[in-house]
A and B are shown apart, each in its own frame.
Chain A
């Protein structure tokens, strides 16, 4: 199934024309074929990662990658670190808590400092929308967005697309319901952009207090009723609900949220019989998703998403450093 979905290299423009961007700051900048180019490239890394003890390639040997995380993260940081190391790069992690950011240094000054250390790629997570673009404009090396505010989280959307493609055999013409706190979610924005661009019907299912303004302008259908929103869906994508959203400002309580929007087996029955259930993690079991659904190996892709995350990030690091590495055709 998997190999059938990979397009032959001849389908893409030659060399660097297949992916013309210096940075990966968002899905908004990408074309459909650039997305599928990354997904195709990721497949080989899935194979490598599953290939037993020697999960290693030297493609990025000698390169320095800095993971600059201004916002706490465990999974995404780990995923990027493993991706870099499996490609042979020297990976350094910078946590904001340990950095001079806490001492009042501006973001631009931090960026200039990282730049002066001659990194070959910088992976950035920041709590403020647009912060990654701000840094990308100031440094000489490729910048990968690992999440900026509510804006974008492109590698999450790419790994989700790869997961869907591998499970469903395609990532087009599907009905995909994105459920939960869309207002505060960069995962939702990047997924909406990627999945609509690839030709799927995307629905947003959320309490009215957590739906962004003018949502329909992003070419999605908006539902506030969970059962209606899930009706006939091929993919149910749950979003994490931050605990602080449930203190009364946006939602009355966790139990009311679970009652109206929690993904239970009964609710999931509205979706297609073979619908898959996705979650970017970490999950609030018993709030947005029931354990019986999350742990259903037939339906849940949650651990597979984590696996695809490493492969997609390997593909992104590989592609974005090809110019630095003087790969033939990439200049």
Chain B
């Protein structure tokens, strides 16, 4: 079907100045165009924000209703949402899992079965659509294997997305060391488990020059290491989810399993360090970590429940809260949500620049709403933000210039 050109008018581009955007052939044609084709359709944004669709880096399920609600147009799928994505055929199937109204970018398993021992067929998986390589929910324990994964992926031009927890310290732990874990009688691990993992991998990056992205960095010590590494020019980036920016380990009080996350929620001091790092640019990516889990995984004693949260629906509103709280400008929020993930995955998307895929969202940044775990669009309502007031939501979503919501 041939799409007519579309002009979105009266929109605050990236939450800034009011302007309009012309879309044709599924791509962004021009910003504030001088000439508008006669047959162009027009859409009045009525002063709402117009932004690139969110590129959610590192989700565990292709959960379209949640992504559409949250303004996510592209989801980078972790290799261990289900059976490990360690085979070209599986990658190809996962990449098609979003058609026609969601881009799914599979992340190739770094090792066979994600067992951390043998290299997976990264090159063939790239040919099948993998956009980056990931270690999954855990890091690769063996430094030698990790080093080989880094150089191999780098030779194919792929970034490795790593988890940062030292398994020697964290095995069996379900919380971060501290008063809360001790009072609840939960097995816990020291927060430095994260910095130790980061330190090892930064050494490998320093030696190999390979690009590395830590999917979630949540502690002051690890952020300091990454800040130094970036200053030294290493090709390293990191991300975070809103949970670690808005919640500390007090949220696990009363054994709330919806607040059981991986990595676990940290101390209030670490939370503030994360806010500082998102403000000073140390953190590059804000993602949902979307991992919907039903009662069979969550309505259990805390230590037996599985970690993870359904985050796609709250990601945008929490990001807007960071703007309102003065930690980010609107433009930088969309760098964290779209431009930086796009660069990492090598996509022609994620900004409002000419020639980019017209994956766009309109945002009513003022609308108040309340999170209700029982009425989520996601297929499970495991959110630690249950009951919290939110502000702002996506009101329209385009993928490749086609309105999908």
Contacts and interface: CB of A to CB of B under 8 A. Distances in A.
Interface of A: 28, 106-108, 126, 128-131, 133-134, 148-152, 186, 189, 212-215, 217-218
A108 B300 CA distance: 8
17 contacts: A106-B296, A128-B303, A129-B184, A130-B255, A130-B301, A130-B302, A130-B303, A133-B254, A134-B300, A134-B301, A148-B301, A149-B186, A150-B185, A212-B181, A212-B182, A213-B181, A214-B177
B185 A108 contact: no
Interface string B178-192: 110111111110100
A216 to B, nearest CB: 9
B265 to A, nearest CB: 15
A23 to B, nearest CB: 13
Contacts of A186: 185
Contacts of B300: 106-108, 134
Contacts of B302: 128-130
Nearest to B254: A133
A217 B179 contact: yes
A70 to B, nearest CB: 10
A133 B183 CA distance: 14
A interface, over-half SS: mixed
A214 B190 CA distance: 11
Interface of B: 177-179, 181-188, 190, 254-255, 295-296, 299-304
Residue among B179, B185, B295 with the most chain A CB within 10 A? Answer: B185
B256 to A, nearest CB: 9
B177 A129 contact: no
Contacts of A151: 184-186
B185 A149 contact: yes
Nearest to B189: A213
A128 B304 contact: yes
Nearest to A127: B301
B179 to A, nearest CB: 4
B251 to A, nearest CB: 14
Contact of A189 (B185, B187, B188, B255): B185
B165 to A, nearest CB: 16
Residue among A107, A134, A148 with the most chain B CB within 10 A? Answer: A134
A131 B305 CA distance: 11
Given A28-B183, A129-B185, A130-B255, 6 more contacts: A106-B296, A108-B295, A129-B301, A134-B255, A149-B185, A149-B186
Contacts of B177: 213-214
A148 B255 CA distance: 12
B interface, over-half SS: loop
A214 B178 CA distance: 5
A38 B301 CA distance: 28
Contacts of A189: 182-183, 185
Nearest to B252: A130
A131 B295 CA distance: 15
Nearest to A133: B255
A189 B183 CA distance: 7
Contacts of B184: 129-130, 151
A78 B302 CA distance: 28
B301 A128 contact: yes
Contact of A213 (B178, B254, B296): B178
B299 A150 contact: no
A218 B183 CA distance: 8
B179 A107 contact: no
A218 B179 contact: yes
Contacts of A213: 177-178, 181-182, 188, 190
A215 B183 CA distance: 9
A152 B301 CA distance: 14
B300 to A, nearest CB: 7
B301 A107 contact: yes
Contacts of A126: 301
A106 B304 CA distance: 11
B224 to A, nearest CB: 21
A174 B9 CA distance: 76
Nearest to B186: A129
A131 B185 CA distance: 12
Contact of B182 (A148, A152, A214): A214
B295 to A, nearest CB: 8
Nearest to A150: B185
B68 to A, nearest CB: 32
A149 B301 contact: yes
A150 B186 CA distance: 7
B168 to A, nearest CB: 12
A152 B184 CA distance: 8
B205 to A, nearest CB: 31
A214 B301 contact: no
Contacts of A215: 182
B52 to A, nearest CB: 42
A238 to B, nearest CB: 19
A75 to B, nearest CB: 20
A14 to B, nearest CB: 30
B191 to A, nearest CB: 10
Contacts of A28: 183
Given A151-B185, A213-B182, A217-B182, A129 B303 contact: yes
Contacts of A134: 255, 299-301
